[in-house]
Amino acid sequence: MPSIDFQSGLQGQLLIAQPSANSTFFAQSVVLVCENHASGAWGIMLNRPSTTTTVGDIAKSLNIDYQSQEPVYIGGPVQEDSLYFIHTPDCLASNTYWVTNTLCVTGSETILRELANGRGPSRWRLAIGISSWKGGQLEGEMSGEPPWTPQHRWLTQKCPPNILERPVSKLTQESTAVAISNSVNSYFN
């Protein structure tokens, strides 16, 4: 593993939409922050499966022989024609980006080709698109101060190492409970 400072802002954290959030796109979403620095941030929604597209459909469109009924996930509203694999670090490519010491993102079809050849990562999720924020935008949303509102604020939680093993249907509820518990405990410790 490369020597990377994973304490860079919100990198490696989950952003959890508040139940009172007024964004229709991000309602009930859980976003893994992949990178966060002064010029901006980007991440991938982990819990919005496509109802129409499977990994097998993507493989077929790329002429890769890989049969899978796993859903493709909607990673965000930006770069909606790009593939992003969130995966364990047991399979890497030249453009793999380390998010935490147990989780990587690869933005290419390389991981899909490795899966088709039986050499892919042990845990993975395929997303199309990303969520992104320009410099200062995410911090502004987190503050809830004008021009943002308290409904823009995200709950946060450190990304658990087993995030890809957790049931997607319960990710929002479980992550919200942990984020609230951590927040309450920080006031009393």
Q: In this structure, are residues 58 and 83 in contact, taking their beta carbons and an 8 Å threshold?
A: yes
Which pLDDT tens digit goes with each residue over 13-43?
A: 999 998 777 677 888 999 999 999 999 999 9
Domain that holds residue 111: 18-182
Residue 108 lies in a domain: yes
Residue 35 lies in a domain: yes
Residue 85 lies in a domain: yes
Looking at the structure of the chain, the number of domains it has is 1
CB atoms within 10 A of CB 69: 8
Which pLDDT tens digit goes with each residue over 101-144?
A: 999 999 999 999 999 999 999 999 999 999 999 999 998 988 88
Please report, as a single letter, which amino acid is at residue 106. Answer: T
The domain that contains 29 carries what CATH number? 3.40.1740.10
* CA 94/CA 79 separation, integer angstroms: 20
Residue 187 lies in a domain: no
